[in-house]
Amino acid sequence: MILPQEELLRLVAPHLAPVLVPPETVARIGKFTARLPPAFSWGGLEVRLQPDDDRVDLVVCAADWEGCRAALAAALAQRDPRAPFGALEPLLHAWSQGRGRLAEMPHVWLEYDRPDSGDPPPFAFVCADPDHRNPLARRTIPLRDLIDLAREGLTLASGALDPDAFATYIRCMQLLPPGGRVATAASLVPRGRSELRMDASVPHAAIPAWLDAIAWPGERRHLALLLDLLGPRSGTNVELDLGKRVGPVLGMLYEPVARSREPASWEPLFARLIERGACEPAKARAAMEWLGTETVDIPGAAWLVSIQRDLGIKLTVFPEGRLEAKAYFCYCARYAFS
């Protein structure tokens, strides 16, 4: 279901410990989200877990299955000058109206860097493969059509798609192992860079061979570090920046295989991150306390509403060996039928 992002943030804010996001930062981000139309079903705050790093970014998602496509089309038709879409309006218009290949794109994510400290330009993560959540199923869209889908979405998101970066994207996509899918792709033009960012879901055991095949230039000990921290699992989201060639920075997303809202599912990873100095102990405790659901009675809603609070951890290793840990404090609303 769709609730205004300002309302969603207000409902989850009591569960955000000040060590994660200070109340004054929550208030400033809340004012920013008031400019977003009620057309996004998911929201989230991206928080750095290292000590002495208080940067917070905002992510929001428009999902077709939640009715966001129609809601966004109606909102854009009103031409609200406060809406913080900037150069992404052509993409959002095309997606909300189901133009061309974008009719097959089930969701779009927007990210705003440091919305508490200014008016940042958004950048978009477009869904590059509608089958990415079901990697064992037969593809419903041919590979050539997925390339066209990504080209169309990324061109609208960037204004000028770098041909070298997209050629690298196509090569990485074509070399994915069985079960591998590109989940999302983004143009980094809003950050002043011509590269693309690829987020690919890859079977865990196949990651080293795939990185070799695409000529990832990073050190194998850095890859081994991330795989060891994540532990054995069936699949992992791998994040890479792509220019004329694959960049050396490597990111991976951690989500527990099961029971993702139970702190015990997260404790081993947090303990290892604290040991490596990549996570402040107080932030780890607060992150696990964030998890949960809450049933609320919202005026005008047909049913009671369940506010769901989830967590994701992204680990990134840089060429010099520095390990960065980010937490995604995600939230959404669902009708509570029982």
Q: What is the sign, positive or negative, of the torsion defined by CA atoms of 275, 280, 281, 284?
A: negative
Question: CB of 316 within 8 A of CB of 326?
Answer: yes
| Residue pLDDT, tens place only, 167-223 | 999 999 999 998 899 999 999 998 889 999 999 999 889 999 999 999 999 999 999
| Residue pLDDT, tens place only, 243-288 | 999 999 999 998 776 667 888 889 999 999 999 999 999 999 999 9
Q: What is the pTM of this model?
A: 0.94
Q: Tell me the pLDDT of the chain averaged across its residues.
A: 93
Between CA 333 and CA 309 the distance in angstroms is: 9
Per-residue confidence at 138, pLDDT binned at 50, 70, 90? Answer: low
Distances, alpha carbon 238 to alpha carbons 171, 200, 204, in Å: 15, 5, 10
Domain boundaries, given as residue ranges, for the chain:
1-127+292-338, 136-254
